[in-house]
Amino acid sequence: MSRITTLDGFEKEYRKGLGRPLNPRPWREVTAEWLRRHSEGSGDYNPLFRDGAYAEEARFHSLIGSPSFLFSIGFGANASIWGHIPHDDVAMKDLSILYLGADIEWFRPVWVGDRVRAIETPVDLRRRDMPQLGESLVCSGMTEYYNHRAELVARMTNHMLRFANPGSGVSASSSSSHRRIAPDPLVWERTRRGGDPLYWEDVREGSDLPELPKGTYTTTELYLFSLGSLTIGRSRKVDEGTIDMGAGGRADPEYARKTRAQATSFDYGPQRIAWLSQIITDWIGDWGDLVTLSSQLRRPNLVGDTNTVVGSVQRVYQESGEGRVDVRVAVVNQDDLETAIGTATVRLPGRDVDEAGNLAVLWAPTAAAEPTMYG
């Protein structure tokens, strides 16, 4: 097939594969090292997701993956970037892409020892007129994450913008200079709720979540997420205009401008979604569950931008006898601009529910190995 160079041509071919799953990648076993690698990449040092000794004594009595670990299992973007179109049939220099956000629902944890697999399906395509990019296509791909027990762990729908490459970066931050903050110490200094339960009865509408400072976005932060959370594999193909396809070419400022319509090197969209989920899990502690998160990327996050994640409680209620809280979260840069926003629902325990106590005997000390009449 000849190379696709127009939105009309892309739409025609993409629509042919709507509703048809892509062939999944191999099963992968979840290991403590893999969870720790994602923790490093996302900058989420919650011990529930990386410290085996802590996790053994915590709610699940085992390491589990953070909500954003889904991106490490499978980015989930193939269905929304290409669908069933062969990758070589579309060049970024003709039709570029931008990540718009994702809608995610979680059903159960990912445990150490699980074997997991992601199944992607292109599900929708819409025309959209963008202020700086003109006519574009919004391509949506659904990813379902399963464990080896055939249990559905989570479902995510990614939204990708496909547009004619303008050949230059779109406008970005208005600040050329601002206070820069090293991101690494912020990870170590972070205070989390941990094992102290947050009861839904104690949450007040309008209250703020503790801020999550992420510091200044650096090339190191970009590569930590790319290599820690996504893949350490080398690219089989190098796009025209660069010799460095690490982090999808994002670390090459000239390539970012000419091929990806960004002012300079920029982040992976899911990296900010990981931040949005982290401020929530830090706040709800070990006994809360993130149920849904719907996110939108509004502006680019460029190397050199300084970011803080903020959140507020929108609604407190009960559903099916369970405590629920809706929150709004956002990534805010040095210009006080929201570069990413999200709305989420969390499930919190009630004061009349003592899950730990009900199962206390299950985790009680082991009885002495003395012979009995029944062995």
Chain segment 107-138, per-residue pLDDT in tens:
999 999 999 999 999 999 999 999 889 999 99
In which band, very low, low, confident or very high, does the pLDDT at 366 lie, cut at 50, 70 and 90?
confident
Domains of the chain: 7-169+176-361 (3.10.129.10)
Nearest residue to 289 via CA among 349, 373, 236, 330: 349
Please compute the mean of the pLDDT values over residues 178-185 and round it to a whole number. Answer: 93
> What is the structure's pLDDT at 245?
83
> What is the structure's pLDDT at 249?
87
> What is the structure's pLDDT at 355?
61
Work out the number of other CB atoms within 10 angstroms of the CB of residue 242.
17
In whole angstroms, what is the distance from residue 222 CA to residue 296 CA?
19
Residue 173 has pLDDT above 60, yes or no: no
Q: Which amino acid is at 142?
A: M
Work out the number of other CB atoms within 10 angstroms of the CB of residue 290.
22
> What is the structure's pLDDT at 175?
59
> What is the structure's pLDDT at 169?
84
In which band, very low, low, confident or very high, does the pLDDT at 178 lie, cut at 50, 70 and 90?
confident
Chain segment 20-68, per-residue pLDDT in tens:
999 999 999 999 999 999 999 999 999 999 999 999 999 999 999 999 9
Residue 288 has pLDDT above 90, yes or no: yes
> What is the structure's pLDDT at 149?
98
Q: Which two tokens stand for residue 233?
A: 């594999």
> What is the structure's pLDDT at 174?
55
Please compute the mean of the pLDDT values over residues 341-361 and round it to a whole number. Answer: 82
In which band, very low, low, confident or very high, does the pLDDT at 253 lie, cut at 50, 70 and 90?
very high
Work out the number of other CB atoms within 10 angstroms of the CB of residue 259.
22
H or E segment and range at residue 212: strand 212-216
Exposure b/e, 172-205, CB count within 10 A at least 16 = b: bbeeeeeeeeebeebeeebebbeeebbebeebee
> Coil, strand, or helix at residue 107?
coil
> What is the structure's pLDDT at 248?
85
In which band, very low, low, confident or very high, does the pLDDT at 361 lie, cut at 50, 70 and 90?
low
> What is the structure's pLDDT at 177?
77
Report how far Cα 17 is from the mean position of its chain's Cα atoms. 25
In which band, very low, low, confident or very high, does the pLDDT at 155 lie, cut at 50, 70 and 90?
very high
